[in-house]
Structure 1
């Protein structure tokens, strides 16, 4: 691959292409009000039926992010009845969010009962065993947020599960599970890696969106 990325700098990018990338990001992340303003200003058409779907996904996403996983499960089953039945990993992660919320609320007895009824069946599958052990270990600490498994109680874990749920719902509706912006960044990272392998490690630094935006 004898390519210099600077050769591509003069290539003009159409405003419509940029607008399409932004539109994809807004739809993916359920920014309904911003989407309406954006399409009004640019004259772009909203994807058919997207606003109703976005509102539902937004509610589900925020319930999961806020720790109300049972409500997120309920609404997901209404929107996509077979999704969690097919995606056991996602179902387990959502149930684990509720368990973590019970732990954070110091409702340990209720957490144990919930684990026995809802999480224990997953223990029959080997890939869930280690994670189940980590969650159950939280019960042994008076301050579980200071335990070695503290990350299971944090916002970052809820964000991870919420994002996975959003992508799964999109895929279930035959929509892209990643926004165009995310795919472009992923592609940029891969291209920079290939260029580095071809021309030497120090030729092209790994792509960093944060560093690029600061430049």
Structure 2
């Protein structure tokens, strides 16, 4: 994939055959020749893979890759297991356990990130509503979340949407039912995961997906000016024949 960017910089479309639509045609042979001329360091590729494994929390795979490739991660791999334990707790709805685990890792994470702490408490409220603990949910909302809502307008709006679930008998099909969907748990878990990574001076998002987005953007830009062997299936990175 890195070869793609370098080829774009090296290729001179003026030397290629012109189409009737004024687009330039880049033959497959010429494109592949340019790709072969580009040298990508194996160490750079290995670092990209390790970055993905660490950020996404694949501790066992990261350890095996470290041994096989000799690529050292930029954080202690043991912390991945702790981070994934937090994620697992949130995905199962055990928010209090997740909060305790975050504090064990680094208490400053929640002390300094008020939005994250509010979202965790909001998730606790959602879980209480999910299990039909109405009285406990109301007490929790009034005692823990309402004071924070008074201090922050956006918090208050989120709290109002969550408490509104209590007004419906069929909460899963009410206007705010998406809060009870598993995607809400995943959203909260992702936010916590990013905060933990940031506290460890690590990127909160893996580099590989960003590079793939850049590839798609670059191809879309090039489509306006030239016909060339495109990569349509990112899972295989196979070059398609030039469409003329």
Could you say which TM-score interval applies, normalised by the shorter chain? 0.7 to 0.9
Match of 2:201 among 170, 174, 177: 174
CA distance in 1, matches of 2:60, 2:168: 43
CA deviation vs aligned residue, 1:154-190 (integer Å, no higher than 9, x gap): 1111111111111111111211111221332344455
Matched, 1:115 2:141: yes
Match of 1:157 in 2: 184
Q: Superposed, which structure 2 residues align to 1:127-142 within 5 Å?
A: 127-142=154-169
Query: Post-superposition shift, 1:152?
Result: 0.8
Match of 1:69 among 95, 99, 112: 95
Highest RCO, 1 vs 2 (Cα 8 Å, sep ≥ 6): 2
Q: Superposed, which structure 2 residues align to 1:7-26 within 5 Å?
A: 9-10=35-36, 11-26=38-53
Query: Post-superposition shift, 1:199?
Result: 4.1
Matched, 1:39 2:39: no
Q: Is the contact between residue 51 and residue 73 of structure 2 (CA under 8 Å) also seen in structure 1?
A: no
Higher helix fraction (1 or 2): 1
CA deviation vs aligned residue, 1:106-137 (integer Å, no higher than 9, x gap): 11111111111111112211112221111011
Corresponding pairs, count: 206
CA deviation vs aligned residue, 1:78-133 (integer Å, no higher than 9, x gap): 22212212211111111111111111111111111111111111221111222111
Which ranges in structure 1 are unaligned for 5 or more consecutive residues?
none
| 2:136 partner SS | helix
CA RMSD in angstroms comes to: 2.9
CA distance in 1, matches of 2:159, 2:49: 39
CA distance in 2, matches of 1:150, 1:9: 50
CA deviation vs aligned residue, 1:35-67 (integer Å, no higher than 9, x gap): 12222222323445x122112111111112221
The two structures have a TM-score, normalised by structure 1, of 0.82
CA distance in 2, matches of 1:39, 1:65: 28
CA distance in 2, matches of 1:91, 1:140: 25
Runs of 4+ in 1 over 3 A off after TM superposition: 2-10, 185-193
Match of 1:86 among 112, 134, 158: 112
